[in-house]
């Protein structure tokens, strides 16, 4: 009755997409450059939690759709501004600092694996 073939793509955690958007803003990378960095740059892989991945955890089209959804719901600026506020109030906010060549970059709500870096 149903085909055995897999259809569609596996879900992508929104946190990975959000961190990628923040890194893009920080490094002024294009969508294509971000996808390439996720494949080639261990610093990006560390932040986005896809260390040693052979290909990006999502496509450029997925990144574009995520950003469009942020813009539609007026969350694009909020994401960037929240990151700036967190960076400036390090003493008051629980955070994880990732010092990996990007300078000190604060991430709130990091996954369990990154919480103890």
Mean pLDDT of the chain: 74
Q: Is the pLDDT of residue 41 over 90?
A: yes
Range of the domain at 27: 14-84
CA dihedral of 90, 96, 100, 105, whole degrees rounded to 10: -40
Q: Could you give the angle at the alpha carbon of 12 between the alpha carbons of 21 and 65, nearest 5°?
A: 55
pLDDT in tens, 62-111: 999 999 998 998 888 777 666 666 555 554 433 333 333 344 344 433 34
Q: Does the residue 69 lie in any domain?
A: yes
Number of domains in the chain: 1
Q: Does the residue 63 lie in any domain?
A: yes
Cut 0.75: pTM above it: no
Cβ atoms < 10 Å from Cβ of 35: 22
């Amino acid at each position: 009755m149903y085909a055995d073939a897999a259809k569609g793509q596996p879900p992508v955690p929104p946190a990975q997409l959000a961190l990628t958007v923040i890194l893009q803003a920080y490094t002024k990378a294009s969508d294509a450059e971000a996808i390439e960095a996720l494949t080639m740059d261990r610093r990006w892989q560390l932040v986005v939690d896809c260390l040693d991945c052979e290909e990006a955890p999502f496509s450029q089209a997925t990144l574009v759709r995520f950003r469009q959804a942020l813009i539609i719901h007026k969350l694009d600026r909020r994401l960037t501004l929240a990151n700036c506020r967190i960076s400036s109030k390090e003493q008051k906010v629980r955070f994880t600092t990732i010092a990996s060549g990007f300078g000190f970059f604060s991430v709130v709500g990091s996954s369990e694996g990154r919480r103890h870096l």
